Amino acid sequence: MLKKFLSLFIIVLFSCSLGWSNARISAYFDVEKAVEENASVILTWISTENIGVTEEDLDYLRNLKREANRNGIKLLVYLAPLEIQTQNVDMNEDGIADKGKRSIYTEHPEWIQVGRDGRKAVFYGNVAFWVDKHSEDVWICPNDPEYRSIFLKTVRKIAPCVDGIYLDVVIFLNSFG
């Protein structure tokens, strides 16, 4: 029987707003359920946003891959290398990081994409449906050697723990300058 290419239990925070009534949302994967559903692929996320990876995340990926592969299922991990969100940095919702809060933009403004008009690709709050109202969303320039090095080290650590990496939003944000 032909297996469907089906990603199960994807953690999708905005599934309701997109009308994805059949999205399966779970913090933990049930490989047995994936087998029952005739899945061929599981897509998962890790807790870090492209900058380093924790040993806990690597253990999670190794264990999930072992269990998935034992059942004939491939494991993919989702990474968005050019977009990074920092949670809870704009609690007063004024469109800038609150005093004393650390974020990618406050720590590494040189990493941020810059539009033709000179504006940095950084925004806060509900500008985009996928960004929490207290979060910062930045778009990283792939030409920055420091960030590129950090991201590639992260990929090298993750790669042996999964069957593939899904790279999303590998674009220049065109709504900034």
What gap in Å lies between CA 9 and CA 25, rounded to an integer? 5
Q: Render pLDDT for 70-121 as a digit per residue (tens, 0 to 9).
A: 999 999 999 999 999 888 998 988 888 899 998 999 999 999 999 888 889 9
Domain enclosing residue 128, as ranges: 83-141
Cβ(89)–Cβ(97) below 8 Å? yes
For residues 90 and 37, membership in a common domain is answered with no
For residues 104 and 118, membership in a common domain is answered with yes
pTM score, two decimals? 0.76
Q: Which two tokens stand for residue 76?
A: 């993919």
What gap in Å lies between CA 45 and CA 71, rounded to an integer? 20
Quote the pLDDT of residue 152.
94
For residues 71 and 9, membership in a common domain is answered with yes
Count of domains in the chain? Answer: 2
Is pLDDT at 20 greater than 80 in this prediction?
Answer: no
